[in-house]
């Protein structure tokens, strides 16, 4: 196995590149001489992403005054789903991304069950939560140790952690050594989380048992006990290693509680049903606007997608529930990105663990790079604790599945949360086939380009005011981008069939 494979097969492409830079000096602006710093590709994100920032001197400091993100690869998932047997959809959508397959599978299952007004048995709801929870934990561990830590720790420069930048590394030498051990332990924990997911998931990643109607495996007592053992290991790692490590990094980088702030518009679609009706969730649905703690309701009908700056035509209604946003326009002059720009009532919204934890009332800190790290670790702890409770609620003697029949015609919406944030799947069935399918992913929200009003996407806005110390190693830009844990494999979207 190659070193890059050993580190993370989920984000392999990121490890074979080092970020490359272009520095264009001498662009005259109203405030003097601005410079454009481009990072392409951004390493340690899944998929292809590039960032251009404009840096100017403001009050004697070099700071980012503008930013543009570009999803540089095209994905064609919805095209593939057209005309398929709807019951195959959860298996197919799990292949959108190997980092968050259960989120896509469960969103598909929810859309299919909604289309038939079907409710799965209690055991199925709980087992789905357990499989999804295991994938959430591995994803949060992946983000901190494998995708972000190298931005903060001066770890030994050995493959694949090299070539590396060494500027502004405040945790070095003997202080860095425990983090290197944690990094190695995190690989083991992620493997165990995948094995934990496979106990009820059949396999992982991309569990094979996520079907409309319930699950295809039973919660036998031996499996429950096995799951408990894996979960205990995950809980220990979160409490004894992950949370303390995050807090140590936060202590060394206090200034990053003021960096990467952005709009402070937060959105969660809610996840982990704690009752069969789906009305009550461990992490609730809601919104907060402009830093307010006032909780606003979410109306899925007003979720919209703008494509002014994406390579799609604007001839069709910009809403997933209206089945798409037109066809591809490769030569569109003002389009820097394959990523669309989702908006809630015209607002760009940040999604992810910080949004969920604040909306749920579980995190009272601010919105910043370090708040994202802390909220993610606390969320992993909250989910792991809930999983212990869910295990005790399984009843081996009861059903895990009821007969599900695909309706001849119908439509359904599956709204959930992936580790990186709000996820929506829209399904239309005609003649028992998939007539149309639309996916709106978390990274589409966070890494969106500008919209029809020229408003920046959430990561673009969060980059504003980021100080840049060294133009040839703009690690500050990378830290802000990584704090959102973008996944471009999920977020590049294609369009409706026909
Ligand atoms: Ni490709 Fe995913 C998550 C989803 S991000 S990892 O979490 O959906 O857009």
* CA 453 vs CA 41, 109, 316: distances in Å: 27, 35, 18
What is the predicted pLDDT for the residue at 156? 73
pLDDT in tens, 460-497: 999 999 999 988 889 999 999 999 999 877 765 544 43
pLDDT in tens, 234-252: 999 999 999 999 999 999 9
What is the predicted pLDDT for the residue at 121? 97
pLDDT over threshold 80, residue 18: no
Between these two residues, 403 and 70, which has the higher pLDDT value? Answer: 403
- The one-character DSSP state at 100 is S
What is the predicted pLDDT for the residue at 160? 56
pLDDT over threshold 90, residue 329: no
Residues 6+ apart with CB under 8 A from 78: 324, 436, 437, 438, 439, 493, 494, 495, 496, 497
Region for 444 from its dihedrals, namely left if φ exceeds 0, alpha if ψ lies in -120 to 50, beta otherwise? alpha
Report CA(179)–ligand 1 centroid distance (Å): 26
pLDDT over threshold 70, residue 165: yes
The two structure tokens encoding residue 413: 């919406």
Report CA(162)–ligand 1 centroid distance (Å): 26
The average pLDDT across 74-96 equals 84
Local structure of 445: helix, strand or coil: helix
Residues 6+ apart with CB under 8 A from 399: 121, 123, 214
* CA 446 vs CA 156, 348, 471: distances in Å: 32, 8, 25
Q: How many CB atoms lie within 10 A of CB 110?
A: 24
What is the predicted pLDDT for the residue at 42? 82
Q: Are 486 and 446 in contact (CB under 8 A)?
A: yes
Report CA(99)–ligand 1 centroid distance (Å): 7
> What percentage of the chain reaches a pLDDT higher than 90?
65
What is the predicted pLDDT for the residue at 79? 73
Query: Which of the listed residues 491, 492, 493 should we mutate to test ligand 1's pocket, taking the one with most ligand atoms within 8 A of CB?
Result: 491
> What percentage of the chain reaches a pLDDT higher than 70?
83
Report CA(173)–ligand 1 centroid distance (Å): 34
Atom from ligand 1 closest to the CA of residue 107? 8
pLDDT in tens, 25-34: 444 444 457 8
pLDDT in tens, 22-73: 555 444 444 457 888 888 778 787 767 889 999 999 999 999 999 998 776 6
Atom from ligand 1 closest to the CA of residue 443? 9
Give Dmax over CA atoms of the chain in angstroms.
73
Rounded to whole angstroms, how far apart are CA atoms 261 and 416?
A: 25
pTM for the model: 0.90
C-alpha Rg value of the chain to the nearest Å = 22
The two structure tokens encoding residue 134: 């295991």
Residue identifier of the C-alpha nearest atom 9 of ligand 1: 443
Report CA(450)–ligand 1 centroid distance (Å): 20
pLDDT in tens, 177-227: 999 999 999 999 999 999 999 999 988 888 888 899 999 889 999 999 999
What is the predicted pLDDT for the residue at 370? 98
Residue identifier of the C-alpha nearest atom 2 of ligand 1: 100
What is the predicted pLDDT for the residue at 325? 45
Report CA(252)–ligand 1 centroid distance (Å): 29
What is the predicted pLDDT for the residue at 324? 52
Q: Are 69 and 338 in contact (CB under 8 A)?
A: no
pLDDT over threshold 70, residue 174: yes
């Amino acid at each position: 196995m190659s070193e890059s494979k050993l580190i993370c097969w989920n984000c392999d492409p990121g490890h074979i590149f080092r970020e490359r830079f272009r520095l264009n000096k001498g662009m005259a602006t109203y405030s003097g001489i601005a410079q454009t710093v481009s990072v392409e590709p951004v390493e340690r994100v899944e998929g292809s992403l590039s960032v251009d920032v404009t840096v100017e001197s403001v009050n004697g400091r070099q700071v980012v005054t503008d930013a543009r993100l570009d999803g540089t690869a095209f994905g064609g998932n919805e095209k593939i789903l057209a005309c398929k047997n709807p019951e195959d959809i959860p298996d197919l959508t799990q292949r959108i991304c190997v980092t968050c397959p259960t989120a896509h599978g469960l969103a598909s299952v929810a859309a299919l069950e909604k289309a038939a007004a079907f409710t799965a048995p209690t055991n199925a709801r709980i087992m789905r939560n357990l499989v999804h929870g295991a994938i959430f934990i591995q994803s949060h561990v992946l983000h901190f140790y494998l995708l972000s830590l190298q931005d903060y720790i001066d770890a030994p420069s050995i493959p694949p952690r090299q070539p590396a930048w060494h500027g502004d590394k405040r945790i070095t030498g003997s202080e860095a050594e425990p983090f290197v051990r944690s990094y190695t332990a995190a690989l083991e924990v992620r493997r165990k989380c995948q094995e934990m997911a496979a106990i009820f998931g059949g396999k992982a990643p991309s569990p094979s048992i996520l079907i409309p109607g319930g699950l295809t495996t039973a919660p036998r007592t031996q499996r429950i006990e096995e799951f408990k053992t894996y979960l205990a290991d995950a809980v220990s790692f979160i409490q004894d290693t992950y949370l303390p490590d995050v807090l140590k990094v936060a202590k060394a980088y206090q200034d990053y509680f003021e960096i990467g702030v952005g709009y402070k518009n937060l959105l969660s679609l809610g996840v982990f049903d704690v009752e069969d009706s789906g009305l009550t969730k461990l992490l609730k649905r809601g919104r907060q606007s402009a830093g307010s703690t006032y909780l606003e309701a979410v109306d899925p009908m007003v979720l919209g997608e703008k494509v002014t700056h994406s390579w799609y035509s604007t001839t069709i209604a910009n809403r997933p529930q209206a089945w798409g946003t037109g066809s591809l326009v490769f030569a569109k002059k003002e389009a820097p990105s394959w990523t669309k720009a989702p908006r809630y009532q015209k607002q760009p919204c940040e999604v992810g663990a910080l949004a969920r934890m604040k909306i749920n009332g579980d995190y009272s800190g601010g919105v910043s790079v370090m708040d994202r790290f802390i909220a993610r670790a606390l969320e992993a702890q909250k989910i792991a604790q809930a999983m212990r409770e869910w295990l005790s609620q399984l009843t081996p003697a009861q059903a895990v599945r009821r007969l599900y029949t695909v309706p001849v015609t119908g439509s359904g919406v599956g709204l959930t949360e992936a580790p990186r944030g709000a996820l929506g799947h829209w399904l239309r069935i005609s003649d028992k086939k998939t007539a149309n399918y639309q996916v709106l992913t978390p990274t589409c929200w966070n890494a969106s380009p500008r919209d029809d009003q020229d408003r920046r996407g959430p990561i673009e806005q969060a980059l504003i005011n980021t100080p840049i110390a060294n133009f040839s190693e703009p690690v500050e830009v990378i830290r802000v981008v990584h704090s959102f844990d973008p996944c471009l494999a999920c977020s590049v979207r294609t369009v409706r069939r026909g």
